[in-house]
Amino acid sequence: MLQNYLFVLILSTVALIIPVAAIVLGHFLGPRRPDPIKTATYESGVETIGDTWVQFRAQYYLIGLIFLIFDVEVIFLFPIALAFERLSLLSTLAVVTFVLILLLGLLVEWRKGALEWE
Amino acid sequence: MSLPEMSALFPTLQEVIFVLFALLIAVTSLIAAMAPNLFHNALGLVATLFGIAGIYFMLEAEFVGVSQILVYIGAIATLITFAIMLTRGMMFGRTSAMNRQGLAGAIISGLFFVVLLGIVFQVPWPNVVADITDGEALIANLGALFVSTYLLPFELLALLLLVALTGALLLARDR
Amino acid sequence: MWGNNWNWSEALTQFQMRLGAPEGAARLVAYGLGAVVLVTIALTLVLFLIWVTRKVVSRIQDRLGPNRLGPYGLFQSVADALKLLTKEDITPRNADVISYNLAPVFDVFGVFLTLTVVAWAPGLIGADLNIGVPFLVALGAIGIMSALMAGWSSSNKYALLSGFRVVAQLLSYEIPMVLSMFLPVLLIGSMKLGTISASQSLYLFGFNLGLGWTVFIMPAAALIYFISALAEAEQTPFDLLEAESELIAGFHIEYSGMKFAMFFLAQFMNSFFLGAIAVMLFFGGYQGPFVDQLPILGAFYLLIKAMLVYLVTQWIKGTFPRLRVDQMMQFAWKVLVPLVLALVLWQMIVMKIFSSSWMQDVSILIGNLVVGGVVLNVISNYLRRQKVVTKRAFEPKSLIGVMEPVVSSGD
């Protein structure tokens, strides 16, 4: 079984080498004539004012949080799917409750307006 | 020297890979703690978590490894990055990783390292020789255990996540 | 040779050992060879896909598309790649050099790793991981990190904003995607893509028709997967973070030359692979008639099916209006997630209540038809509303009197 992951490791190495090689090759093949205008930050016709930072809405953070919670719950479902055939009725009920709680969470978000994106 | 004796002198491939992963974890966790830029700290943390996932895969705990990547890198690291980017000073300013407690921190973590080292050498670790042949059955067993032996913690986990979600909603709302 | 447990890596290793190589080295060589072959196939495929995209989209827009280089302009993408290779590699002054250069590498890396679990034919799968399906989802995390890295390190307002939007989009659509991938896993009871493909066979008098596709009993799951995959691959109608026809391009705005090409490559491969995953999970993977007799036919079937899915995405790209960001987020959380959760619940209950497998299949199909109907209804309502809004504000009048406007062929 560990051999499978040896293959993943080798494929990872190849998958890292290829983009690095392409970028390095492009770096040497292409011309290199930097000038202050060219390396300036792209902006619609005017110089960038201030730094890049803009006020982000907390909404992004909220989406991240909701995702995290769903992600954790979904990952628990996967091993249960493999054993689903031999689960007892009580266990099945437990899984169904688990998913129902997940749905309840979604409902709470909905009611509280966390899913609105203005 | 015969061939088996000679091969005993060389580390096995598995050992080499383990050392490489361990080095990755060590270096990137130093970056996570010491780099002067908070975003670089976050990236260092991501790389550390990757290394730890690699160790899990080497221990043939594939499901734990994949959960590690999915939850910690996919969700938690993203969340940390979002949090960093929500504040101006943290994003581009160079924060010092050190404060006046640097020395004390170094001593405490050094001592903690010694304690851990002691534990590592003291504990009679089980010596697993046999290969895990059916990893899939292992994961299925894990799933069955969730909803039989560990049924109560499993349901409590769902409730805990629900509570966490409601709490997060209260805290993070704009208004 | 193509026995029940035939496996490419074992066969290659055995072959080398018969030639006298030690086992460890033989295995390493076999894996290395496999990895290089897979990556080469993927790269060739991308060159072809770029050509397909340009041809299809230009057909839809009533243009010819590339037709100069080689037969039907087939070598156009090679020329484009060479051109990108000789372009100047600009690093913006304010960029954070490390993350700026690492982001395109990681983006490609994450997508390449998908190749690990693509089941081309029985026994012809990079590594049939026990955790195949979650592994595929986990790879998405790498894409999210690279988008954040690119957006932040370019030190450009647009790049950063777009990076944030991409991440919000990817996160929102990942949940319905994982849950819809969970449905065939629950039905088949395995997360191995090889096993999932193998179990979608259909035997009739001992002959494998290869038509036991899960899509026949869970069409709604396939539909929801497909919609989420479009969003994950940042394809129209979910490409508003890029909107290449009207806005400046996304989180990779500051990238040029080969680094830009890497993002481009990753996006093309990703949209093709998401189609290939759809094929493996819902459309039978390598299954098809005569695949038992001639297993290599499986790779052919898989490629054809994946290409058909890809053509559908290009068709959508050419014809669908783009969504607004709030519509997109709400569609994920308020339509797809609750519906797919309902499907999960229904399937779990049904699989426990009925013991006979055909009763299970029929009930799952009924649940799926209901859910699929709801999804399609939402989409068609949206499109009908959209049509009213985007109706021409003025009729085009020709400036020269003799040129009458052609009767619109339905645009």
Which C residues, 19 through 58, put their C-beta within 8 Å of a C-beta on chain A?
27-28, 31-32, 34-36, 38-39, 43
CB contact under 8 A, B162 and A64: no
pLDDT tens by residue, A81-92: 999 988 999 999
pLDDT band at residue B4 under the 50/70/90 scheme: low
If we measure between CA atoms, which residue out of C107, C383, C32, C140 comes closest to residue C266? C107
Q: Between C11 and A44, whose confidence is greater?
A: C11
**A101: its two tokens:** 């709680």
Is pLDDT of B129 > 70?
no
Of the candidates C32, C30, C33, C2, the one whose C-alpha atom is nearest the C-alpha of residue C15 is C30
Tell me the pLDDT tens digit for each residue of C129-181.
999 999 999 999 999 999 999 988 888 888 888 888 888 899 999 999 999 99
Q: Among A39, A43, A56, whose Cβ lies nearest the Cβ of C90? A: A39
Which residues from chain A sit within 8 angstroms of residue B151, using beta carbons? 90-91, 94
Indicate the pLDDT class of residue C370, thresholds 50, 70 and 90: very high
**Touching A: B residues 21-40, CB under 8 Å:** none
Contact C375, C335 (CB under 8 A): yes
Q: For chain A, what are the domain ranges?
A: 55-111
* Residue A95 with chain B: CB contacts under 8 Å: 147
3-state secondary structure (DSSP) of residue C346: helix
Contact indicator for C226, C315 with CB cutoff of 8 Å? no
Amino acid at A55: Q
A35 contacts chain C (CB < 8 A):
no
> Where do runs of H (alpha helix) occur along C189-218?
193-198
* C299 phi/psi in degrees, rounded to 5: -60, -40
Residue B106's identity, in one-letter code, is: A
Task: Check: CB of residue C56 under 8 Å from CB of residue C318.
Answer: yes
- The predicted model gives B76-80 an average pLDDT of 90
From A8, A51, A61, residue closest to B82, measured CB to CB = A61
pLDDT score recorded for residue C205: 83
Is B94 within 8 Å of chain A by CB? Answer: no
pLDDT at C335: 93
Say which of C98, C134, C144 has its CB closest to residue B78: C144
Strand, helix or coil at C119? strand
CB contact A67 to C (< 8 Å):
yes
Helix segments in C208-256, DSSP class H? 219-232
pLDDT (tens digit per residue) in C176-194: 999 999 999 999 999 999 9
User: Would you state the pLDDT for residue C403?
Assistant: 46
Binned at pLDDT 50, 70 and 90, residue C9 comes out as confident
- Decide: C302 and C272 in contact? Cβ < 8 Å: no
Q: Each residue of C199-256: pLDDT tens digit?
A: 998 888 888 888 889 999 999 999 999 999 999 988 878 887 666 555 567 788 888 8
Distances in whole angstroms, Cα of residue C268 to Cα of each of A49, C45, C240 = 35, 10, 17
Q: Which of B75, B92, B142 sits opposite A71 (nearest CB)?
A: B75
**B136: contact with C, CB 8 A cutoff:** yes
DSSP state of C51: H
* The token pair that represents C213 in the structure block: 């596709």
Inter-chain Cβ pairs, chain B and chain C, closer than 8 A: 66
What are the sequence ranges of the domains in chain C?
A: 1-86, 90-322
Specify the pLDDT at position C236.
Answer: 77
CA-only gyration radius of chain C, Å:
23
Contacts of A2 in chain B (CB under 8 A): 14, 58, 60, 131
The 10s digit of each residue's pLDDT in C51-72 is 999 999 888 888 888 888 888 8
Nearest to A58 by CA among B83, C150, C328, B38: B83
A38 touches chain C (CB under 8 A): yes
C-alpha distances (whole Å) from C344 to each of A6, A74, B129 are 34, 11, 40
Under 8 Å between Cβ of C197 and C284: yes
Question: Who among A78, A106, A117 is closest to C325 (CB)?
Answer: A117
Rounded Cα distance, A88 and A86, in Å: 6
C341 touches C332 (CB < 8 A):
no
Which chains reach chain C with 3 or more Cβ–Cβ distances below 8 angstroms?
Answer: A, B
Phi, psi of C124 (to 5 degrees): -110, 70
Residue B97 binned pLDDT confidence (cut-offs 50, 70, 90): low
- Is there a contact between C310 and C49 (Cβ–Cβ < 8 Å)? yes
CB of C24 within 8 Å of a chain B CB? The answer is yes
Q: Inspect the interface and report whether the beta carbons of A52 and B92 lie closer than 8 Å.
A: yes
Which candidate from B40, B73, B92 shows the least CB-CB separation from C145? B73
Residue A105's region, left for phi above 0, alpha for psi from -120 to 50, else beta, is alpha
Q: Average pLDDT, stretch C383-398?
A: 59
CB atoms within 10 A of CB B129: 5
- pLDDT (average), residues B19-43: 91
String of DSSP letters for C141-173? HHHHHHHHHHHHHTT-HHHHHHHHHHHHHHHHH
How high is the pLDDT of residue C217?
93
Estimate the crossing angle of helix C337-353 against helix C357-389, to 10 degrees: 170
| Strand pairing report for C119-121 and C124-125 | antiparallel
Q: Which residue has the tokens 């919609």?
A: C227
What distances in angstroms separate CA A58 from CA A114, B175, C159, C324, one per listed residue?
11, 10, 19, 19
CA distances to B10, C18, C26, C115, C338 from B3, rounded to whole Å, are 11, 20, 17, 37, 62
Residue whose C-alpha is closest to residue C105's, from B28, A26, B70: A26
Can you name the residues that pair with C125 across neighbouring β-strands? C119
Domain boundary assignment for chain B:
1-120, 135-175
Distance CA C411, CA C406 (A): 12
Residues 6+ positions from C65 with CB-CB distance below 8 Å: C54, C55, C57, C58, C59, C73
The total of other beta-carbon atoms located within 10 Å of residue C382's CB is 16
Q: Which two tokens stand for residue C189?
A: 């009871």
Q: Is the pLDDT of residue C383 over 70?
A: yes
C127:A77 CB<8 A:
no
pLDDT at B3 exceeding the cut of 60: no
CA of B101, closest CA in chain C: separation in Å? Answer: 30
Write the ipTM: 0.92
Cβ C184 vs Cβ C368: under 8 Å: no
Could you say which of 3.40.640.10, 1.10.3720.10, 3.40.50.1370, 1.20.120.1200 is the CATH number of the domain covering B1-120?
Answer: 1.20.120.1200
